[in-house]
Structures are given as C-alpha cells and as structure tokens.
Chain A
Amino acid sequence: TQLLEQSPQFLSIQEGENLTVYCNSSSVFSSLQWYRQEPGEGPVLLVTVVTGGEVKKLKRLTFQFGDARKDSSLHITAAQTGDTGLYLCATTFYGQNFVFGPGTRLSVLP
C-alpha cells in the first residue's frame, strides 16, 4: 500500500502569520485532494489538483502540485482563527483506492 506523508504533524501559529504544510509520497499521484476536518465532523473538500505544476488559489489558501506529481503544498496567508483544523491530503495512487495522509493539525491563536 502506498503511503502519503504530511508535515508538519502539528503547527501552532499566531493570527496573521503565514504558513505552509506539505504532502508527499515516493509514488506519483494521479490527482490530489486537500480536505479540512474539524473535530467530530467529516472531511470537507477544499481543492483538487490534477496537473503537475498546477497552482490553485482559494481566497487566502494557495495549493501547489509538484511538477513530478509526488508532492503538494498548501500555503495560508494571514492565518485566521477560523483556519484552525486538521488539514488532510488524499489521493488515489494508480490502481488503488483513496488514501489519506495522517494530516497536519493547525492551531491559529488569537
């Protein structure tokens, strides 16, 4: 089974700061989804990236898919307390079903 790694595992920052979290694997992704999950709730889809090198923006969130399609990053500009949550990347490696990474738990302090 292919694995997704995410870093950092935990991140605690002050409101207004910028941050980047990472998702990577030794294998090529067919596509990659980023989700945010709050305690006791289901993952909420943020974005899907498909093409190597692709950059997508969602308000203050910028998602990048690596050229080789083995890594992705999520950058948040001017973090707000409402950004607090567990950020998950997920993918389907070729021929396999959906795999989630372990997540980065972000805490944005006021």
Chain B
Amino acid sequence: EPEVTQTPSHQVTQMGQEVILRCVPISNHLYFYWYRQILGQKVEFLVSFYNNEISEKSEIFDDQFSVERPDGSNFTLKIRSTKLEDSAMYFCASSEGHSRSYEQYFGPGTRLTVT
C-alpha cells in the first residue's frame, strides 16, 4: 500500500541553525501539506502546496519557513533559523484532491529537537 515517507525520523539541531525536513508523498497525489505537533498539543496546519506553489499557509508559517518540491518526488520544509519553540513533531501529508471529501494521508513524522 502506498505511503508517505519522511526523513529523518529524528533531527537534533542547535538554535539558529537551518534544518531541512524531507518528505516523499504518495506518487499520484497532487496536494502536499506540512503540519506540526508540539508535544502534548494539537496537530496544527502549517502550509499546503499545489502545482509548485503555496496554496494556503497558517499564521505559524512565517518568513523562517519555506517549502519546495525540488524534483518529482520530494517535498521539503526548511526552517531557516531554528528557535527553541520550533521543537515539535513535523508531519507531511498528501492528498489526491482538494474537494470537500478529500482525504489526507500522513507520514510518520520527523521529531525536531532544537537545543
């Protein structure tokens, strides 16, 4: 069964460093998403991406964040200058479409720890 994959599973970085989180969405899906989940809190939407551009972003997704689809398979989230409060699980998701019945499939997540 096709699945979303993410690498690395765990990333430790120092405050102020840049990190890139990688995702391989399900191959026939057209919409891609990043979410984060701070420990013990809700899953929060960050950004959606379609046709090589951002379609929606939340207030969390500020100038330190960027997304890219550098090739036909990878979808990346870059955090330019990490802060302690960026420590969280980051989930990538993908879906076939964006209609009211669309279903998003999630990857296993990357645990980001900023020290």
Contact = CB atoms under 8 A, between A and B. Distances in A.
Interface of A: 30-31, 33, 35, 37, 40-45, 48, 50, 88, 90, 92, 97-103
A88 B93 CA distance: 15
18 contacts: A31-B100, A37-B43, A41-B108, A41-B109, A42-B4, A42-B107, A43-B91, A43-B106, A45-B104, A45-B106, A50-B100, A50-B101, A97-B45, A98-B35, A99-B45, A100-B42, A101-B42, A103-B42
B81 interface: no
Contacts of B56: 97
Interface string B49-60: 000000010100
Contacts of B101: 31, 48, 50
B99 to A, nearest CB: 9
Chain B interface mostly helix, strand, loop or mixed? strand
A99 B33 CA distance: 12
A98 B45 contact: yes
Given A43-B91, A88-B43, A98 B33 contact: yes
Interface string B88-100: 0101010000001
Q: How large is the interface on B (under 10, 10 to 19, 20 to 34, 35 or more residues)?
A: 20 to 34
Contacts of A40: 89, 109, 111
A33 B103 contact: yes
Contact of A48 (B103, B106, B108, B111): B103
B105 interface: yes
A45 B42 contact: no
Contacts of B103: 33, 45, 48
B43 A33 contact: no
B42 A102 contact: yes
Nearest to B109: A42
A27 to B, nearest CB: 14
A40 B40 CA distance: 11
Contacts of B44: 100
Contacts of A50: 100-101
A41 B4 CA distance: 12
A103 to B, nearest CB: 7
